[in-house]
Amino acid sequence: MKREAISLIVLAMVIGFGQKLQAQYYLKFDMGYAAPMGEQSVPQFFDFNEESETLPFKKQNKISLGQGSHFNLGLGYNFSGKIGAELNLSYLWGSKRDSEIETSDDYFYRSLRGEMFSAIPSLVLIMPIKKPNMDFYSRVGLITSISSRMIYDTETLIDSNNADYQQRYIMSGSFALGFNAVMGLKWKKGKVNYFVELDYRALSYAPTKRSMQTSTINGSSNIHALSVHDRETVYLENIEVSNPAIVNDEEPLEVLISAYPFSSVGLNFGISINL
């Protein structure tokens, strides 16, 4: 009898402890828009207009591909009500940035857009406020991209042969590592809570390959007529450059690796559900 009573108490403690632990887990979802930060000039990415009504001009187009909509899904754990840990999965749908070069004979258009799926493990420090029932919190974590890509579109109009060339490339490969800092306010409503966050991210991304997806001349595809060298590019730490240049049509073009800014500062709104 005594043994059974002890077993019941132990079972009750285990269940109670388990429930208490379970109550400290929460799921969260938020979304928002991020403005660019740490914008950089990218080679060949400027506006030029020779046909301007005043004087021809060149205009710099500094960009950060972190600009755009962010969607975050996270799992959090509160150790004590004042300190916690979160793992967020984040998706960036980047805004398109473009440049135009217009000369008296020709027109060149280029656009770049980034997409990034990343995991962000973070430490959370919480300052509870009793009235109103809120948490003022901050979070610092590392951003590790799981999948990243950049969409690069070009259009070239050549007056002399009345041709319109359009190409789409996907730049991908490798991963980005950066940091994320967040300051937020959470309105605690019981099981479901609402929060608003200032979300700062600093990172750059260096793709390792570029692949042509589509290529048209005056609307007709010509991609099958192009060689591997025309369609594929690999970005390397080191390349050998010969004079005269040696071109192998069956090998991708080799170019030195470059990095693109993905830093941003944004505002996110979301809900969290205590499990």
Partner 1 sequence: MSYLKRILLLFLLLAFQIANAQKLYFSIGGGPSFGMAKEPYSNFYDIDVVNTSTELETANLISFGKGFNSRFRLAYRLTENLDIAIEASYLQGGKNSYSQSRLVDNNNEFRLSERRVDVFGNMWSISPNLVFSPFNTRISPYIRIGPSLNFGRTYEEVEYKYLTTTISTEEFTGPVSWGFLADLGVKYLADENWEIFAEIRFHSFSFEPTESQITQYEIDGVDQLASLNTYKRKTVYKDKISEEQGTFGFVGIERPFQELSISQPFSSVQFLIGISYNL
What residue ranges bind partner 1 (CB under 8 A)? 37-41, 46, 54-60, 62, 82-83, 123, 125-127, 129, 131-132, 134, 136-140, 177-179, 181-183, 200, 202-204, 206, 236-244, 256-261, 263, 265
Minimum distance of partner 1 from residue 213's CB (angstroms) = 25
CB of 239 to partner 1, least distance (A): 5
User: Read out DSSP for 170-237?
Assistant: EEE-S--EEEEEEEEEEEE-SSEEEEEEEEEEE-EE--SEEEEEEEEETTEE-GGGS-HHHHEEEEES
> Measured between alpha carbons, how far is residue 190 from residues 28, 86, 187 in Å?
14, 19, 9
Q: Dmax of the chain from CA atoms?
A: 100
**Length of the chain counted residue by residue:** 275
Q: Are 89 and 117 in contact (CB under 8 A)?
A: yes
Q: Identify which of 4, 100, 7 has the alpha carbon closest to the alpha carbon of residue 61.
A: 100
CA 224 to chain centre: 31
Min separation Cβ 117 and partner 1, Å: 18
> At closest approach, how far in Å is the CB of 222 from partner 1?
31
Copy the structure tokens of residue 252: 């991708």
When the beta carbons of 119 and 134 are compared against partner 1, the nearer one is 134
* 29's tokens: 């979802």
Q: Which is nearer to partner 1, 219 or 244 (CB)?
A: 244
| Nearer of residues 9 and 125 to partner 1, judged by Cβ | 125
- For residue 136, the minimal CB distance to partner 1 (Å) is 7
User: Is the CB of 116 or the CB of 215 nearer to partner 1?
Assistant: 116
**Minimum gap (Å) between residue 197 Cβ and partner 1:** 11
Residue number, 118 or 215, with CB nearest to partner 1 = 118
Among residues 193 and 215, whose Cβ is nearest to partner 1? 193
